[in-house]
Amino acid sequence: MSKPCRDGPKAAAETGYPGSGKIVIESIASHKPQDIEVTLRYLAKDPLYDHIKPLQVTPNFATTAHLSNVQLTPGPPEILHDVLDHFQDFSLDTHGFQYVHAPTDFSAWTSQSDLTSSYLSELDHVLRENVDGCDEILFYDLRTRHALPSGSRTSEGLSSNPFARQVHTDNTPSSALEKIQQLTGMKAEFLLRGRCRLINLWRPIKHPVFDCGLAVASGASLRAGDVRECDRRRADTGAYWDTMGVVQYRPGFEWYYLSNHSPDDIILFKNFDSDESLDAKICLHTAFDLPPESILANAPQRESIEVRALVFTFPPPSLGRLQPSAPLLPLIKPALKLDSGYEPDQLTSSLHSLAVRTDIDECTEVKDAELLLRKRRIRDLEQMVRDLAREGHDLRAQSAVQQGRIRDLEALVDRPVVSP
């Protein structure tokens, strides 16, 4: 069973990694929480963005960076607070992120078939154990990351991307709604009446993080206007892809990280939440370089995997006849999905990463959606019948009263007149 992560460094010390040395393992075992000062990269405060919308391309590799108008600049030194000894203090609803201790024996990180058949099942369990309201979960994207500035792709189509050293959110509300419609089709109208969340599940693989970690900002420290919408377009054609959020520096962001982040520990963080009552609807995040003096000479470079999930909480029956909680947007492009009969070129058509779906039986999906909608329609019709029955009973009662009055009047009319 998954539980809030509290023993990450200890677990890492006991596990080790291929090629690791005794010095590194002992250092992990003796590790203590440590806040650090780092410099993060933000969108530059350039007058250009007062007139032109920020634009990035996908994939955002070193060879495609010149196609973007996004200029990044280092902010002033900021403190990253180490969550090592108080994981339980953070939650998705309050902060936009939370840590979960979820050991795994999975190791086939470059195999698309193994990832979709085994690893995603583990993550489904992690979400249902640690996140309230998981009525339906749809994994739609996964990617690995490494230290090389240029991207690569496995023979099965899975991309490995460079670290995203830029304060950002993966989606904006508009692109989140687009994804929901693209990936759920006719079920979108029903699902949007409930709660919809985009949750990322991130963990290092093979060994702990020694050089480049993941920093997350508390959603409670965000202000209106902090996040700017940035278009993403395909590097090869320039066609619209989606929108992400970019951020310019200001004082006041509350940043956190987990020191010596172990492969046994997952961080969950939100990129969208339709619950308007929450302060933490999104989580700013970025890769960052650890201070050079803290990086051990024989430590390997970070590798990690990130999976993105749509998490739906169904609407209560009382909302069955209400309009969706968010507007339905026109589809920009078809959903990227895989099934058991995919062709190799279908996999490589996704430039950014491998798109994954777990509700792969499209026919079953349509039947399920129709069943949900028809059940609600049946309940509505049954209620209508009951209402009509009550109205009919009332009308019959009123009719009986009126008929009685008519008979009384007729009796008066037919009564013979007696002469005085």
Cα 77 to its chain centre, rounded Å, is 29
Helix (H) or strand (E) run with residue 189 in it:
helix 188-191
Q: What's the whole-model pTM score? A: 0.71
Residue 355 binned pLDDT confidence (cut-offs 50, 70, 90)? very low
Q: What is the mean pLDDT of residues 110-114?
A: 86
Which one of 50-64, 95-109, 227-241, 353-367 scores highest in mean pLDDT? 95-109
Residue boundaries of the structural domains of the chain: 8-360, 362-420
pLDDT at 368 over 90: no
The type of residue at 278 is L
pLDDT of residue 5: 45
Look at 99-108, 224-233, 408-417 and tell me which has the smallest mean pLDDT: 408-417
Mean of the pLDDT values across residues 17-39?
60
pLDDT (0 to 100) of residue 8: 41
DSSP 358-371: S---HHHHHHHHHH
Asked if residues 83 and 257 have their Cβ atoms less than 8 Å apart, the reply is yes
Q: Of the spans 3-12, 46-55, 139-148, 260-269, which averages the highest pLDDT?
A: 260-269
Share of the chain above pLDDT 90, in %: 43
Please compute the mean of the pLDDT values over residues 382-395 and round it to a whole number.
84
- Please determine, for residue 33, whether its predicted confidence score (pLDDT) is greater than 80: yes
Lowest mean per-residue pLDDT among 103-117, 209-223, 319-333: 319-333
Rounded Cα–Cα distance for residues 283 and 387 (Å): 47
Can you state the angle between helices 8-15 and 22-29, rounded to 10 degrees? 160
Nearest CA among 61, 97, 64 for reference residue 280: 97
Give the mean pLDDT of the chain.
Answer: 78
Average pLDDT over residues 153-177: 76
SS3 135: coil
Pairing of strands 136-146, 159-162: parallel
Task: State how far the Cα of 346 lies from the Cα of 337, in Å rounded to an integer.
Answer: 9
pLDDT, one tens digit per residue, over 281-333 is 999 999 999 988 888 888 888 899 999 999 999 998 765 444 444 433 333 33
List of E strands, 14-164: 36-38, 41-43, 55-58, 72-74, 78-82, 97-101, 136-146, 152-153, 159-162
Across 94-123, average pLDDT: 93
Lowest-confidence pick of 161-170, 179-188, 189-198, 331-340: 331-340
Amino acid at 14: E
Decide if pLDDT at 390 tops 80: yes
